[in-house]
């Protein structure tokens, strides 16, 4: 099954060229901001000016042009590649709530004959298993772990022109250059960018210094192994401020010059702009997180996360959710289908026609280890959203483990962290509320 893969710019800043040209003029030209913008209206020199300024290295001027892209029926591998753009915004079709059994998977156009048949057979087998696991009563959020990383994703991406150029360059000249699907998307986006903003096209040909090209060789163990739900997402605190309380005090005095009022953690927690919390940075290792779980983690934009290439996962190591483990019929399908898929993939990837597409043979339930660094302000948001009972269980398990480590490091601050009902006394979920607010308040008010 192969649907039309498309990347289309569906919206971009009204008057984007005029705004960027105005930005190019404002630092070196007399006149106020509105007057310079009026001068840029219908000015035939705008594109040349933008190109000249960008070529000189002052690329911040093009950050004023913003594009929204609809990505249709691309592989989830492509989705993961895009999401690594930290200065972009994404909205993705949820695998927790949407049935993906009929949404298809990406088929490389170059495949033909026996190689194409083998590829389709492998993919179809996992989609059949997904449907069978759903039919056995397993929730969509857990059935998705058998989906291959070729399954079709649809999402929106919004980013500025500078980030869009860096993304296209990364595909054309950097680590995406060995991925035909990404190359086809880069061609589509380059053509559209050329029509909307021709002065930026020369930027696409700048080489990507230091970016690795190609992809690692797929990893396979001698036999499949299973990571149970309780064992997934083990968290280790690797680095933390030596004296976080002192840092917060210094940040308080810096942000409130002349005040005689001492820092209050209660006031800081209720502040609408707790910039002091950004001075506290924490680095974590997260071991045995599924590829599906990584998509939840990386949606937090204000972090520095290190994620290995999808093809570098151990294709033989799988998560085993409780809903599957406790369902004999689903467990048999789950174990058999993933074991068979693992052994078959190892054989298929010896085929020179299929070997370049090893990343599509990973599944959402494959495990990897990641590392991330976040400041306390972003950790407050992460815990508020992910420690909620409405959060997906894997990322909730990770959020709770992170919170436990933080409370052990600096309890005076982090004992105040928790889900919305604990922080504010109210649940924002409306009719989706778990109805256990008092229980949750007591839980997070004690020792985790």
Distances from the Cα of 74 to the Cα of 3, 26, 215, 249, 290, angstroms: 9, 40, 19, 48, 20
Which helix (H) or strand (E) covers residue 393, if one does?
Answer: helix 393-409
Q: 137-141: long-range contacts (C-beta < 8 A, 24 or more apart)?
A: 137/327, 137/330, 138/321, 138/323, 138/324, 138/327, 138/330, 139/96, 139/323, 140/95, 140/96, 140/97, 140/98, 140/99, 140/100, 141/95, 141/96, 141/97, 141/392, 141/393
**386 catalytic, yes or no?**
yes
Q: Count the residues in the chain.
A: 448
- CA 133 to chain CA centroid, Å, is 26
- Report the DSSP beta bridge partners of residue 98: none
Which residues, 6 or more positions from 149, have their beta carbon under 8 angstroms from its beta carbon? 75, 76, 77, 80, 291, 310, 359, 360, 361, 362, 363, 364
Contact between 372 and 283 (Cβ < 8 Å) = yes
Contact between 81 and 7 (Cβ < 8 Å) = no
Six-digit token string for 256: 């409130």
Choice among 144, 175, 384, 386 that is catalytic = 386
SS3 151: strand
Distances from the Cα of 238 to the Cα of 71, 308, 381, angstroms: 37, 18, 20
Q: How far is residue 356's CA from residue 337's CA, in Å, rounded to a whole number?
A: 23
Q: How far is residue 72's CA from residue 159's CA, in Å, rounded to a whole number?
A: 17
Contact between 108 and 184 (Cβ < 8 Å) = no
Q: Give the strand order in the sheet containing 6-12.
A: 6-12, 66-75, 152-160, 89-92
Contact between 147 and 363 (Cβ < 8 Å) = yes
Among positive and negative, which fits the CA dihedral 388, 394, 395, 400?
positive
Q: How far is residue 147's CA from residue 401's CA, in Å, rounded to a whole number?
A: 27
- CA 259 to chain CA centroid, Å, is 41
Catalytic residues, by residue number, are 386
């Amino acid at each position: 099954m192969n649907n039309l893969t498309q990347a289309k710019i569906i919206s971009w800043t009204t008057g984007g060229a005029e705004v960027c040209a105005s930005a190019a003029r404002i630092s070196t030209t007399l006149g106020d901001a509105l007057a310079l913008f009026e001068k840029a209206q219908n000015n035939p020199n705008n594109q040349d000016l933008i190109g000249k300024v960008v070529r000189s290295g002052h690329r911040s001027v093009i950050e004023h042009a913003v594009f929204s892209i609809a990505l249709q029926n691309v592989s989830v591998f492509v989705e993961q590649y895009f999401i690594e753009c930290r200065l972009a915004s994404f909205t993705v079709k949820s695998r927790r709530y949407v049935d993906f059994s009929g949404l298809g998977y990406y088929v490389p156009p170059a495949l033909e004959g026996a190689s194409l048949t083998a590829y389709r057979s492998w993919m179809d087998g996992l989609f059949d298993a997904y449907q069978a696991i759903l039919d056995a009563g397993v929730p969509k959020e857990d059935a998705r772990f058998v989906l291959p990383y070729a399954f079709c994703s649809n999402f929106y991406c919004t980013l500025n022109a500078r980030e869009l150029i860096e993304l296209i360059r990364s595909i054309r000249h950097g680590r995406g250059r060995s991925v035909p699907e990404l190359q086809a998307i880069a061609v589509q986006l380059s053509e559209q960018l050329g029509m909307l903003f021709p002065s930026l096209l020369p930027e696409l040909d700048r080489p990507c210094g230091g970016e690795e090209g190609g992809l690692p060789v797929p990893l396979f163990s001698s036999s499949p192994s299973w990571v149970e739900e309780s064992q997934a997402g083990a968290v280790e605190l690797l680095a933390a401020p030596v004296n976080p309380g002192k840092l917060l005090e210094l940040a308080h005095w810096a942000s409130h010059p002349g005040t005689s009022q001492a820092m209050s953690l209660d006031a800081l927690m209720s502040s609408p702009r707790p910039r002091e919390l950004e001075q506290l940075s924490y680095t974590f290792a997260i071991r045995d997180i599924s590829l599906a779980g990584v998509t939840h983690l990386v949606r937090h934009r204000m972090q520095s996360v290190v994620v290995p290439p999808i093809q570098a996962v151990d294709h033989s190591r799988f998560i085993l959710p409780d809903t599957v483990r406790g369902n004999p019929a689903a467990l048999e399908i789950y174990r058999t289908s993933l074991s068979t898929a693992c052994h078959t993939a190892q054989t298929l990837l010896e085929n020179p026609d299929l070997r370049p597409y090893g990343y599509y043979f990973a599944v959402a339930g494959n495990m990897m280890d990641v590392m991330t660094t976040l400041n306390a302000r972003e950790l407050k948001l992460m815990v508020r959203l992910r420690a909620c009972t409405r959060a997906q269980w894997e990322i909730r398990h990770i959020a709770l483990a992170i919170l436990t480590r933080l409370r052990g490091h600096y309890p005076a601050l982090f004992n105040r962290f928790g889900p919305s009902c604990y922080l504010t006394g109210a649940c924002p979920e409306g009719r989706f509320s778990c109805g256990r607010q008092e229980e949750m308040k007591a839980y997070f008010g004690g020792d985790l």
